[in-house]
Structure 1
Amino acid sequence: MASYDDWNKIEDDEDDELQDYSFYEGKRDVILFCIDCSPSMLELREDPRYEDVQTCNLMIALEAAMQIQKRKVLVGPNDSVGIMLFNTTKRNESGTVGADIKKGTYVYQPLATIDVPKVAQLMQLLDEARENPGMLREEFPPMKDKRIPVGDVFTSCNWVMRDGAPKTATKRVFFITDEDNPHPGAAISRLTTSARTTLIDLVQAGVTVEPFFISTDEKPFDPSRFYSSVLLPTNITDSNDIGDHDGSSILPESISIGRIDELLAQMRFHEVPKRAAFSIPFQLAPDFVIGVKGYGLITEQKKGAYRYFAEIDAGVEVVESRTSYVDEEQEEEVDKGQILYGMDLGAPSAEAGDEEGDAKEVDAGTRSVPFGCRVFYTAEEVRAFRTIGLEPGIKLLGFKSRKELAFEDNIKHSFFIYPDEMTYSGSKRTFTALLRTMISKKKIAIVLALTRRNSSPIFCAMLPQEEKVDESGWRDPPGFHLIPLPFADDIRAAPVERAFRASDELKEAARKWIDKLNVKNGSYPPDSYPNPALAYHNAQLEAQAFREDFDAEAFEDLTEPKYDMIHKRAGQLIKAWKEELREDESANIVSAPLAGSKRKADISVDEAEVRSKYEAGALAKLRVDQLKEFLKSKGEAVSGKKADLIDRVCEWLDSHA
Structure 2
Amino acid sequence: MLIFTNEDDPFSAITGAVKTDMIRTTIQRAKDAQDLGLSIELLPLSRPDEEFNVSLFYADLIGLDGAEITEYLPSAGEKLEDMTDQLRKRMMKKRRVKTLSFAITNDVCIEVNTYALTRPTTPGTITWLDSVSNIPLKTERSFICNDTGALLQDPQMRFQMYNDTVVKFSVRELSEVKRVSSHHLRLIGFKPLDCLKDYHNLRPSTFIYPSDEHIFGSTRVFVALHSSMLRLGRFALAFYGNPTRPQLVALVAQEEVTSSAGQVEPPGMHMIYLPYSDDIRYPEEVHVTSDEAPRATDEQIKKASSLLKRIDLKNFSVCQFANPALQRHYGILEALALGEDEMPDIKDETLPDEEGLARPGVVKAIDEFKASVYGENYDQEEAEAAAAKASRGDASKKRKAITDAASLKSAAYDWAELADNGKLKDMTVVELKSYLTAHDLPISGKKEALISRILTHLGK
Partner of 2:418: none
Partner of 2:350: 559
Partner of 1:547: 339
Structure 1 CA distance, aligned partners of 2:312 and 2:219? 37
Of the candidates 127, 135, 143, which is equivalent to residue 317 of structure 1? 135
Deviation of the 1:449 alpha carbon: 0.7
In the alignment, does 2:41 pair up with 1:55? yes
Partner of 2:241: 450
Alpha carbons of 1:407 and 1:542: their partners in 2 closer, same or farther (altered >3 Å)?
Answer: same
Structure 1 contact 398–446 (Cα < 8 Å) conserved: yes
Q: 3-state SS of the aligned residue for 1:318?
A: coil
Q: 3-state SS of the aligned residue for 2:134?
A: strand
Partner of 1:183: none
Q: Which residue identity is paired with 2:294?
A: F
Deviation of the 1:340 alpha carbon: 1.7
Structure 2 CA distance, aligned partners of 1:279 and 1:442? 27
Structure 2 contact 111–218 (Cα < 8 Å) conserved: yes
Deviation of the 1:342 alpha carbon: 1.7
Deviation of the 1:459 alpha carbon: 0.8
Deviation of the 1:532 alpha carbon: 0.9
Partner of 1:165: none
Structure 1 contact 461–485 (Cα < 8 Å) conserved: yes
Q: 3-state SS of the aligned residue for 1:403?
A: helix
Structure 2 CA distance, aligned partners of 1:577 and 1:471? 43
In the alignment, does 2:195 pair up with 1:404? yes
Alpha carbons of 1:523 and 1:398: their partners in 2 closer, same or farther (altered >3 Å)?
Answer: farther
- TM-score, normalised on structure 1? 0.40
Q: Which residue identity is paired with 1:441?
A: L
Alpha carbons of 1:558 and 1:264: their partners in 2 closer, same or farther (altered >3 Å)?
Answer: farther
Partner of 2:209: 418
Of the candidates 361, 367, 371, which is equivalent to residue 582 of structure 1? 371
Structure 2: stretches of 5+ with no match in the other structure = 11-25, 31-38, 46-60, 379-460
- TM-score, normalised on structure 2? 0.55
Alpha carbons of 1:303 and 1:463: their partners in 2 closer, same or farther (altered >3 Å)?
Answer: same
Of the candidates 572, 575, 593, which is equivalent to residue 361 of structure 2? 572
Q: Which residue identity is paired with 1:285?
A: T
Partner of 1:483: 272
Structure 2 contact 161–167 (Cα < 8 Å) conserved: no
Alpha carbons of 1:277 and 1:505: their partners in 2 closer, same or farther (altered >3 Å)?
Answer: farther
Of the candidates 312, 333, 342, which is equivalent to residue 159 of structure 2? 342
Structure 1 contact 44–133 (Cα < 8 Å) conserved: no
Structure 1 contact 45–55 (Cα < 8 Å) conserved: no
1:416-451 per-residue CA deviation (whole Å, 9 max, x = no partner) reads 323334344444444344334323332222110124
Q: Which residue identity is paired with 2:135?
A: E
Alpha carbons of 1:345 and 1:584: their partners in 2 closer, same or farther (altered >3 Å)?
Answer: closer
1:234-273 per-residue CA deviation (whole Å, 9 max, x = no partner) reads xxxxxxxxxxxxxxxxxxxxxxxxxxxxx969x75xx111
> In the TM superposition, what are the counterparts of 1:627-646 in structure 2 within 5 Å?
none
Structure 2 contact 208–270 (Cα < 8 Å) conserved: yes
Structure 2 contact 192–235 (Cα < 8 Å) conserved: yes
Of the candidates 280, 300, 318, which is equivalent to residue 524 of structure 1? 318
> In the TM superposition, what are the counterparts of 1:230-629 in structure 2 within 5 Å?
271-310=91-130, 315-325=133-143, 331=150, 334=153, 336=154, 339-344=156-161, 375-388=167-180, 390-451=181-242, 454-468=243-257, 475-497=264-286, 500-503=294-297, 506-507=300-301, 510-511=304-305, 514=308, 521=315, 523-525=317-319, 528-552=320-344, 554-565=345-356, 572=361, 575-576=364-365, 578-580=367-369, 582-584=371-373
Q: Which residue identity is paired with 1:317?
A: I
Structure 2 CA distance, aligned partners of 1:441 and 1:470? 25
Q: Which residue identity is paired with 1:282?
A: F
Structure 2 CA distance, aligned partners of 1:574 and 1:436? 54
Structure 2 CA distance, aligned partners of 1:395 and 1:296? 20
Q: Among the aligned pairs, what percent are the same residue?
A: 25
Q: Which residue identity is paired with 2:122?
A: K
Q: 3-state SS of the aligned residue for 2:208?
A: strand
Structure 2 CA distance, aligned partners of 1:420 and 1:56? 45
Structure 2 CA distance, aligned partners of 1:382 and 1:491? 28
Alpha carbons of 1:484 and 1:577: their partners in 2 closer, same or farther (altered >3 Å)?
Answer: same
Alpha carbons of 1:426 and 1:345: their partners in 2 closer, same or farther (altered >3 Å)?
Answer: closer
Structure 1 contact 342–377 (Cα < 8 Å) conserved: yes
Structure 1 contact 340–377 (Cα < 8 Å) conserved: yes
Structure 1 contact 474–523 (Cα < 8 Å) conserved: no
Structure 1 contact 278–293 (Cα < 8 Å) conserved: yes
Structure 2 contact 100–112 (Cα < 8 Å) conserved: yes
1:483-538 per-residue CA deviation (whole Å, 9 max, x = no partner) reads 2222222233233457534456655654565467665556432xx53321232133
> In the TM superposition, what are the counterparts of 1:141-290 in structure 2 within 5 Å?
177=81, 271-290=91-110
CA-atom RMSD in angstroms: 4.9
Structure 1 contact 465–478 (Cα < 8 Å) conserved: yes
Deviation of the 1:458 alpha carbon: 0.9
Structure 1: stretches of 5+ with no match in the other structure = 1-39, 60-130, 149-174, 179-210, 213-262, 349-373, 590-657
Structure 2 CA distance, aligned partners of 1:524 and 1:43? 34
Q: 3-state SS of the aligned residue for 2:282?
A: coil
1:572-600 per-residue CA deviation (whole Å, 9 max, x = no partner) reads 267336525533589999xxxxxxxxxxx
Alpha carbons of 1:524 and 1:311: their partners in 2 closer, same or farther (altered >3 Å)?
Answer: closer
Q: Which residue identity is paired with 1:383?
A: S
Structure 2 contact 306–365 (Cα < 8 Å) conserved: no
Structure 2 contact 256–265 (Cα < 8 Å) conserved: yes
Alpha carbons of 1:491 and 1:144: their partners in 2 closer, same or farther (altered >3 Å)?
Answer: closer
Between the two proteins, the alignment pairs up a number of residues equal to 324
Structure 1 contact 510–574 (Cα < 8 Å) conserved: no
1:528-574 per-residue CA deviation (whole Å, 9 max, x = no partner) reads 5332123213312321222113254x433333444445666xx6267
Partner of 1:224: none
Q: 3-state SS of the aligned residue for 2:199?
A: helix
Higher gyration radius (CA): 2
Higher relative contact order (CA 8 A, sep 6+): 1
Deviation of the 1:409 alpha carbon: 1.9
Deviation of the 1:286 alpha carbon: 2.7
Structure 1 contact 501–586 (Cα < 8 Å) conserved: no
Structure 2 CA distance, aligned partners of 1:343 and 1:587? 64
